[in-house]
Chain A
Amino acid sequence: MSNLMLAGVLLMLLALAYQLGLTRSRKLTTDLSGQKVRLHSRPVYHGALVAFWTVVPAFGVFLLWRFIQPGVINQMIIAQLPEAIMAGMTDSDMRVFLRRITHLSSGFGLSDQPQPHELQAAELLSVLQVRGHALMLALMASLAAAGLYFSWQQIHPDLRARNQMERVVKVALIACSSVAILTTIGIVLSMFGEAMRFFAFVNPMDFFFGTTWNPRFQTAGTEGQTGFGMLPLLWGTVMIALIALLVAIPVGLMAAIYMSEYAPSRVRSVAKPIIEVLAGIPTIVYGFFALITVGPFLSSFGATFGLDIRATSALTAGVVMGIMIIPFISSLSDDIITQVPRSLRDGSLGLGATQSETIRKVVLPAALPGIVGAILLAASRAIGETMIVVLAAGNSPVLTANPFEAVSTMTVTIVNQLTGDLDFASPQSLVAFALGLTLFVITLLLNVIALVIVRKYREQYE
């Protein structure tokens, strides 16, 4: 039975069980003598409870089985391999072997002639898979039947189905949030593990404080590799982010002030969404906008002043990235400025301050922590941004203070190290994880600081 069919069957079972629970509990509303009986819970809750016990345990078995079966089958296949063949196999040989028999058994075929022991193993694999599947179906069917029967039996006027459903809902909510949290933890841990593998090749001091980035391809496994200094990349990232903020802070903040303080509500209702559209433009579009339009423009603009500006440079990438993060700053600041209570404005206006004096001396200082938070969030966005810099920063990992020169960033380097022919055991690709982890820590810190500041600010008026 294919998984799709299985899903269909489970859904049908769900509807059926719900109906059964519903009908039975409805019948209970009048007792034998025809008297009305008050149910503790409304019939829908009884139906839902029966449906839950019928489908969810069976589905749980399905998930668990899917997760465990391949490992178990592999073990069983390996266990029956002849000693002679086992002896000569390394770990990676074993992986290749397992992949080959999977291809064989699924009818995918191999590019070369399979060996006899491989054919045999492949056959065993298909047999085991069929058996495993059948076993799973049997288990699911019996669980569903048992769940349906017992929960249906349980239905009684006093059964607290409503409270039990409440618990079910709570568990479901917890499960969903755990998925999100566990995924995050999993990503961090795997990055951490790979980064540790990288640090087996390269001294962390050389990585974090080295000033040359020039990882040459050396044979994997040799220790003390050089050219993995992160600083040029970090500096490129920081410089572009700073340029972006220089563009985005004034523009975003002024736009926010106009929107929240001056714009008539009709203008505001049109202009605000338009500004926010900027945030929705795919970053690759910004990237070629930078490459094709902004870069050449800045270059020729610089030429009229005798400045030598490369078309792909930190400046180009920074300016375009600045445009991209304007809506982050303007929209968040706008919300924060609007939150400053009217009574404060009235107090200032009532003392004879003009509107711009009121904004400068009362509204902005009151909103400042929140605005700083907004800026930090935008900064962390800028630091993690990839596509714009890939296309427009020039990809030249040198330590330079000149924004008119081409630079490279951590994100760009990660892309470079992970594209093309790869050997995931070499420091050349493992370095991507170390860079990713560093980037993650930086943006995490920025976000945490920003959130703390924003939260503090919120409390101020409560």
Chain B
Amino acid sequence: MKTVKLSSERLGVSNKQPSGKIKMSARDVKVFYGESEALHGIDMDIYENEVIAFIGPSGCGKSTFLRCLNRMNDTIDVAKVTGQVLLDEQDIYDPSLDVVQLRARVGMVFQKPNPFPKSIYENIAYGPRLHGLVETRREMDEVVESSLRRAGLWEEVKDRLDAPGTGLSGGQQQRLCIARAIAVSPEVILMDEPCSALDPIATSIIEELIDELKGSYTLVIVTHNMQQAARVSDKTAFFHLGNLIELNKTDEIFTNPQDKKTEDYITGRFG
């Protein structure tokens, strides 16, 4: 797509292939909500510029693990995380690490589209302004345009950047949220069931978008939709009852699962 190429030049990213370099890794990550242990020691390596999907029955801890990767669990009073999570070999739970910087590098898109009740422009400008990424209004205009282009939303909203973001349709709102995350040039983008609140058409547009973003960012996507995982991801991780059961190349998982539970789940025998 032409627009996307244009914008990727602007953002200074090129379509790289998975480099084989480990971007994030988790070692024996456990999460407690109060007394109850929701994750029982997860080990996982996430490689740079690949798309990894988390699947599993609901309540198995996918979102919980995802939130460990940018420390969003810190915002939940009762949640406690143990173990190690590394981003570029640096422990993100190290007290010396600035969580604000971390979340700029590891962006997040939520299940329900949550645009701020501000204009479309302000929604995108929010992050860059916080982190002082741009100096002038002109630079900001450029960031807003390129982020919206990358999210495939530019053509639809370029004439009404001052309109409230909350006035867009659900699918447009979710793309706005993706654009908002992209605007701070993150290295990793976490998406927690980004399509579960959307209709099938909006879903397929978001899936296309994920495909476009592939290779420029490391993407972690939680989904309850196995076709979606199969369509968009390079690797798939299957969670069950707070454990990581299996992690492999997506075609391997779906054609030749190693674990009985995985097989049962993807053939629809439970879930």
Interface residues of B in 81-115 (CB under 8 A from A): 100-104, 107-108, 110, 112, 114-115
A347 to B110 alpha-carbon distance, docked (Å): 8
Contact A353 B100 (CB under 8 A): yes
- Say yes or no for B57: interface residue by CB 8 A criterion: no
A264 to B78 alpha-carbon distance, docked (Å): 11
* Contact of A357 with B110 at beta-carbon distance under 8 Å, contacts A351-B104, A365-B117 already known: no
A349 to B106 alpha-carbon distance, docked (Å): 12
Distance of B197 from chain A, by nearest CB (Å): 11
Contact A351 B114 (CB under 8 A): no
Write the residues of chain A forming the contact surface with B, with a CB cutoff of 8 angstroms: 264-265, 341, 343-354, 357, 361-362, 365-366, 460
Q: Pick the residue among B75, B117, B130 that contacts A351 (CB under 8 A).
A: B130
Q: Pick the residue among A265, A345, A347, A352 that contacts B177 (CB under 8 A).
A: A347
With CB as the reference atom, state the residue of chain A lying closest to B126: A351
With CB as the reference atom, state the residue of chain B lying closest to A343: B114
* Contact of A344 with B114 at beta-carbon distance under 8 Å, contacts A350-B72, A351-B127, A351-B181 already known: yes
Contact A352 B110 (CB under 8 A): no
Write the residues of chain B forming the contact surface with A, with a CB cutoff of 8 angstroms: 70, 72, 75, 77, 100-104, 107-108, 110, 112, 114-118, 126-127, 130-131, 166, 177, 180-181, 184
With CB as the reference atom, state the residue of chain B lying closest to A362: B116
Contact A365 B118 (CB under 8 A): yes
With CB as the reference atom, state the residue of chain A lying closest to B113: A343
* Contact of A350 with B107 at beta-carbon distance under 8 Å, contacts A357-B130, A361-B126 already known: yes
With CB as the reference atom, state the residue of chain A lying closest to B123: A347
A63 to B166 alpha-carbon distance, docked (Å): 57
B75 contact set on A, CB distance < 8 A: 345-346, 349
Contact B104 A352 (CB under 8 A): yes
Contact A352 B103 (CB under 8 A): yes
A347 to B77 alpha-carbon distance, docked (Å): 17
A343 contact set on B, CB distance < 8 A: 110, 112, 114
A69 to B7 alpha-carbon distance, docked (Å): 89
A345 contact set on B, CB distance < 8 A: 75
With CB as the reference atom, state the residue of chain B lying closest to A367: B117
With CB as the reference atom, state the residue of chain B lying closest to A264: B77
Distance of B167 from chain A, by nearest CB (Å): 11
Contact B184 A351 (CB under 8 A): yes
With CB as the reference atom, state the residue of chain A lying closest to B183: A351
Q: Pick the residue among A352, A354, A460 that contacts B127 (CB under 8 A).
A: A352
Q: Pick the residue among B114, B117, B130, B166 that contacts A352 (CB under 8 A).
A: B130
Contact B117 A366 (CB under 8 A): yes
A347 to B70 alpha-carbon distance, docked (Å): 13
A350 contact set on B, CB distance < 8 A: 70, 72, 103, 107-108, 110, 181
Q: Can you list 14 A-B pairs, Cβ within 8 angstroms, ordered by A?
A: A343-B110, A344-B117, A346-B108, A346-B110, A347-B116, A349-B72, A349-B75, A350-B70, A350-B108, A350-B181, A351-B104, A357-B130, A460-B117, A460-B166
Distance of A461 from chain B, by nearest CB (Å): 9
Q: Pick the residue among A349, A351, A361 that contacts B180 (CB under 8 A).
A: A351
Besides A264-B77, A347-B114, 5 more A-B contacts (Cβ < 8 Å) are A350-B70, A350-B108, A351-B126, A352-B101, A361-B126
A204 to B161 alpha-carbon distance, docked (Å): 51
Distance of B208 from chain A, by nearest CB (Å): 23
Output the residue of B77, B112, B114, B131 with the most chain A CB within 10 A: B114
B70 contact set on A, CB distance < 8 A: 350
Distance of A249 from chain B, by nearest CB (Å): 22
A460 to B116 alpha-carbon distance, docked (Å): 12
Contact A351 B72 (CB under 8 A): no
* Contact of A366 with B116 at beta-carbon distance under 8 Å, contacts A343-B110, A351-B103, A352-B104 already known: yes
For the complex of A and B, list the 7 residue pairs with the smallest distance between their C-beta atoms, beginning with the closest.
A350-B108, A352-B103, A343-B114, A352-B104, A351-B127, A347-B114, A352-B100
A354 to B98 alpha-carbon distance, docked (Å): 11
Distance of A34 from chain B, by nearest CB (Å): 57
With CB as the reference atom, state the residue of chain A lying closest to B112: A343
A138 to B98 alpha-carbon distance, docked (Å): 88
A361 to B270 alpha-carbon distance, docked (Å): 44
A366 contact set on B, CB distance < 8 A: 116-117
A354 to B131 alpha-carbon distance, docked (Å): 11
Output the residue of A353, A362, A365 with the most chain B CB within 10 A: A353
A352 to B99 alpha-carbon distance, docked (Å): 7
A59 to B107 alpha-carbon distance, docked (Å): 71
B100 contact set on A, CB distance < 8 A: 352-354
Contact A352 B184 (CB under 8 A): yes
Contact A344 B116 (CB under 8 A): yes
B116 contact set on A, CB distance < 8 A: 344, 347-348, 362, 366
Output the residue of A264, A345, A346, A352 with the most chain B CB within 10 A: A352
Distance of A355 from chain B, by nearest CB (Å): 9
B126 contact set on A, CB distance < 8 A: 348, 351, 353, 361
Q: Pick the residue among B104, B114, B127, B130 that contacts A341 (CB under 8 A).
A: B114
A352 contact set on B, CB distance < 8 A: 100-104, 127, 130-131, 184
A124 to B118 alpha-carbon distance, docked (Å): 79
Q: Pick the residue among B72, B77, B107, B184 that contacts A346 (CB under 8 A).
A: B72
Output the residue of B100, B115, B116, B181 with the most chain A CB within 10 A: B116
Output the residue of B107, B110, B117, B180 with the most chain A CB within 10 A: B117
B118 contact set on A, CB distance < 8 A: 365
Distance of A7 from chain B, by nearest CB (Å): 56
Distance of A453 from chain B, by nearest CB (Å): 15
A188 to B246 alpha-carbon distance, docked (Å): 75
A348 contact set on B, CB distance < 8 A: 116, 126
With CB as the reference atom, state the residue of chain B lying closest to A346: B110
A247 to B147 alpha-carbon distance, docked (Å): 44
A362 to B114 alpha-carbon distance, docked (Å): 12
B180 contact set on A, CB distance < 8 A: 347, 351
